[in-house]
Amino acid sequence: MPMAGIRSKGHLRLSTPPPGVWWNAAGREVQLFIEMHGRFAAHQAVEVCRDLEKFHPGFVEEPVRPLDVGALKYVIDHTSVPIAAGERLYLAMAYNDIFRDRLVNIVQPDISQCGGLLEVKRSVLRRRPFP
């Protein structure tokens, strides 16, 4: 079943969290972490990330679909917000492009979904050849 996407500027604005409200309520020393659930096209994710830059988030998680390496590259090349991903990558081999091309700032393997601790270890060990 295809994921519901963001179809218009109105949907994009409605899907963007009001971080300013949270930031002002919690205090400026609080760092926000934003989950985007992989529901954005690359250009939309960049637009949202640029809107979030002024809040200096700790990271934006899964701005595009997890296996869309080209979209992930586009996002990381066009924003200064740290990008986190990996919890929906299920095998060690899925991390190859991510590590080789440095497509995320924070790698988040989900041990319960990606084959257990040994598969996560393989994923991390694959990182070593890419300085």
Q: Where do the domains of the chain lie?
A: 9-127
Q: What is the 3-state secondary structure (H, E, C) of the chain?
A: CCCCCCCCHHHHHHHCCCHHHHHHHHCCCCCCEEECCCCCCHHHHHHHHHHHHHHCCCEEECCCCCCCHHHHHHHHHCCCCCEEECCCCCCHHHHHHHHHCCCCCEECCCCCCCCCHHHHHHHHHHHCCCC
Residue-level pLDDT at 87: 82
pLDDT tens, residue by residue, 41-94: 999 999 989 988 988 889 999 999 988 999 999 999 999 999 999 888 877 777
Calculate mean pLDDT across residues 1-20: 55
Rounded CA-CA distance 53/42 in Å is: 16
In CATH, the architecture of 9-127 is Alpha-Beta Barrel (3.20)
**What does the pLDDT look like over 97-118, one tens digit per residue?**
888 888 899 988 888 877 788 8
Query: pTM for the full model?
Result: 0.76
Buried-state track 81-92, b at ≥16 Cβ within 10 A, e below 16: bbbbbbbbbeeb
pLDDT at 1 over 50: no
